[in-house]
Chains A and B, each alone.
Chain A
Amino acid sequence: MKCGIYTCIIGMEYVLHIAILVGIYLILATGLNLIAGYAGLLSIAHAAFFGIGAYTAALMALNLHSPMVVNLACAVVLAGVTGAVVGGPSLRIRDDYFVVATFAFQVIVFNVLNNWVSFTGGPMGLPGIPQPSLFGWTISSHTAFLLLVGCCCVAVLWICQRIVHSPFGRVLKAIREDEVLAQCAGKNVAAYKVLVFMIGAAMAAVAGVLYAHYISFIDPTSFTVMESIFILSIVIIGGAGSPWGPVIGAVVLVTLPELLRFVGLPSAVAANVRQILYGAALVACMMWRPQGLLGQYTFQKGGSRQ
């Protein structure tokens, strides 16, 4: 009897844990949806901004003992500025070269996190990140953390909605559909692209801060190219260019692989099977449903060959 209650509590903790992860990926995917889905810029650097956010929060919490709100603000600003520095030059180049440029940035960030041992802890990572406290209230339980992540999700989704339905969002979609036309209409295309790239990067940093404080241990392996591709898959499979696409994508792609656990695969195998599944889903999506489950954008400029 007692044993049953114990399993039930563990089970509850597990469900909450998955829900928190879904929330974090939802924030990441919403940020990338603005960049890739609305502005049509394929970026595989999202995990780099996620990592910048997480490491900023972790280093500040460990070295300066600053509260979470301050960490969050600093991480958002830092990721936004990095986004501008990276986006500025690389957004001038053509689509497929932009993918490679973001890839390059991703690898460089991973290299810095992995090799600058004295500052980032290198491959050993940063252990012992304290639990966050908001207005004197320490968030220690899973339930409280889920509440925090939930609030952040709602805020991010709300900001995304506001952006999409604003004139700014309409210009983004115009750039996505026909860049030359948007330019002819007198829009400063480059400035819009950099701005949306900054906003997306800042959202990734929010997710990074939450992740660092939640897991309380970070190492560079959480911020690899594969992670970037995973986030991109969430956006594409869920549906790029639709506000609810990343939500569905995050729920499906984060929870479904957890089912593999119940099939009884060893964890080393499960990690590979999970990646095979989402890789195959990505290919299948491109083959038969490029707009994803709910999306509106098929990564096809102006409906014809450019």
Chain B
Amino acid sequence: MSQVLVNGIVASCTIALVALGFGLLYRIIRFFDFSYGIIYTLAAYTTFGLAHYLKAPLGLALVLGVAFASVLACSLELFIYRPLRGRNASASVMLLASLGVYIVLQNMISLCFGNDTKVLRSGSVNVGIGFCGARITEVQVALICATAILFIVLLALLNMTKIGKAMRAVAVDSDLAAISGVPVNGTILCTFVLASVLAGICAVLVSMDTDLTPLMGMRMFMYAAVAAIAGGIESPGGIAIGALLLGMAQHFGIWVIGSQWQDAIAFLILIGCLIIRPKRFVCRG
């Protein structure tokens, strides 16, 4: 029971990190950016490649992996999304383009690393620390701490700094922000970096705790989308609560009916949210 609780909290933290980045990105760019899922996978695989093949120290590999993922996200924005936005492309066009990007990059990762499961852990499996009758590994503790710290940093950044203010301005009305002298394109680029860093750190920690597959990003992306939509995509606090609910629901669901239904639980929650609270998602513009 307490183990289920601990697992639920750890899962909530991972989902929360990605969902915060996803929500931030969605508020600014206004479409479901599927390539965000591959940024997550890519950060994990770059770290794995550096640590495993080049024998880089894990800390350095983490930093480089996250940096590489951020650079890639920026180049996607510069070469694909920005030109599309310049042509006033609709959300559907942007979404389809990001879906194409996702497919290309995921298959490139499959080609380079293979489809099988990879492990970033060094040494033997760690049983972890006993904690109120449950077991928790050091990486999971790090993950929870990282989530707490990054959440506070993100809130501070959004509410107290100039760039945070610019992000909120662009999120509310990008045309008005541009007129008021906010560098819209630069702000969007910063958002991509910030979201990639959140996803990247989460991806590396998760892959240290469990394992890596080329499909990990898509799965996490969809969980993040579910959490963000369930909690309310506009506010970081809501997203955190959504992530907590989703993580708990999944792990108590696993406990009751079995782990193979994990995805189905998440998506039933999503469909439930969309049906019950449609007023925020209705078609009227």
Question: Which A residues fall within an 8 A CB radius of B?
Answer: 42, 89-90, 92-97, 99-101, 103-105, 107-108, 111-112, 114-115, 179-180, 225-226, 229, 232-233, 236, 269, 272-273, 275-276, 278-283, 285-287, 290, 298-301, 304-306
With A and B bound together, what is the CA distance between A93 and B277 in angstroms? 10
Residues of chain A within 8 A (CB-CB) of B108 are 272, 276
With A and B bound together, what is the CA distance between A301 and B283 in angstroms? 12
**Are B270 and A104 in contact, CB atoms less than 8 angstroms apart?**
yes
Name the one of B32, B97, B278, B285 contacting A287, with C-beta atoms under 8 angstroms: B97
Binds A, one of B133-141, B158-166, B240-248, B260-268: B260-268
Question: Assuming the A-B contacts A89-B274, A94-B283, A100-B32, are A279 and B93 also in contact, with contact meaning beta carbons closer than 8 angstroms in the complex?
Answer: no
Question: Assuming the A-B contacts A107-B267, A115-B261, are A93 and B83 also in contact, with contact meaning beta carbons closer than 8 angstroms in the complex?
Answer: no
**Are A279 and B104 in contact, CB atoms less than 8 angstroms apart?**
yes
Q: A275-B107, A280-B104, A298-B93 are in contact. List 12 more A-B contacts (CB 8 A).
A: A90-B275, A93-B281, A95-B91, A96-B95, A100-B225, A108-B267, A115-B261, A279-B103, A290-B93, A300-B88, A305-B88, A306-B285
Name the one of A96, A103, A104, A111 contacting B91, with C-beta atoms under 8 angstroms: A96
Q: Does B80 contact A (CB under 8 A)?
A: yes
**Are A95 and B97 in contact, CB atoms less than 8 angstroms apart?**
no
How many A-B residue pairs have C-beta atoms within 8 angstroms? Tell me.
148
**Are A283 and B100 in contact, CB atoms less than 8 angstroms apart?**
yes
Leading 5 A-B pairs by shortest Cβ distance: A279-B103, A282-B100, A283-B100, A104-B267, A279-B104
**Are B100 and A111 in contact, CB atoms less than 8 angstroms apart?**
no
With A and B bound together, what is the CA distance between A236 and B95 in angstroms? 13
Beta-carbon contacts of B59-90 to A below 8 Å, as 1s and 0s? 00000000000000000000010011000111
Chain B residue with Cβ nearest A93: B281
List CB contacts (< 8 Å) of B117-139 with chain A.
none
24 contacts between A and B (CB under 8 A): A89-B274, A96-B92, A97-B274, A103-B222, A104-B222, A107-B222, A107-B267, A108-B268, A111-B260, A180-B284, A229-B99, A229-B103, A273-B111, A275-B104, A275-B106, A275-B107, A276-B108, A279-B104, A279-B107, A286-B97, A287-B84, A290-B89, A300-B88, A301-B90
- Interface size of B in residues (CB-CB distance below 8 Å): 47
**Are B32 and A96 in contact, CB atoms less than 8 angstroms apart?**
yes
Question: Smallest distance from the beta carbon of B262 to chain A beta carbons, Å?
Answer: 9
**Are A283 and B90 in contact, CB atoms less than 8 angstroms apart?**
no
With A and B bound together, what is the CA distance between A272 and B214 in angstroms? 12
Q: Does B145 contact A (CB under 8 A)?
A: no
Chain B residue with Cβ nearest A306: B285
Question: Smallest distance from the beta carbon of A52 to chain B beta carbons, Å?
Answer: 16
**Are B281 and A299 in contact, CB atoms less than 8 angstroms apart?**
no
With A and B bound together, what is the CA distance between A94 and B229 in angstroms? 13
Q: Does B271 contact A (CB under 8 A)?
A: yes
Residues of chain A within 8 A (CB-CB) of B283 are 92-95, 179
Question: Smallest distance from the beta carbon of A259 to chain B beta carbons, Å?
Answer: 17
Residues of chain A within 8 A (CB-CB) of B285 are 306
Q: Does B110 contact A (CB under 8 A)?
A: yes
Residues of chain B within 8 A (CB-CB) of A89 are 271, 274-275, 278
With A and B bound together, what is the CA distance between A299 and B94 in angstroms? 10
Question: Assuming the A-B contacts A105-B271, A107-B263, A272-B107, are A300 and B100 also in contact, with contact meaning beta carbons closer than 8 angstroms in the complex?
Answer: no
Q: Does B194 contact A (CB under 8 A)?
A: no
**Are A42 and B267 in contact, CB atoms less than 8 angstroms apart?**
no
Question: Assuming the A-B contacts A276-B103, A300-B90, are A236 and B96 also in contact, with contact meaning beta carbons closer than 8 angstroms in the complex?
Answer: yes
With A and B bound together, what is the CA distance between A61 and B268 in angstroms? 31
With A and B bound together, what is the CA distance between A281 and B102 in angstroms? 12
**Are A278 and B90 in contact, CB atoms less than 8 angstroms apart?**
no
Question: Assuming the A-B contacts A300-B89, A305-B90, are A97 and B229 also in contact, with contact meaning beta carbons closer than 8 angstroms in the complex?
Answer: yes
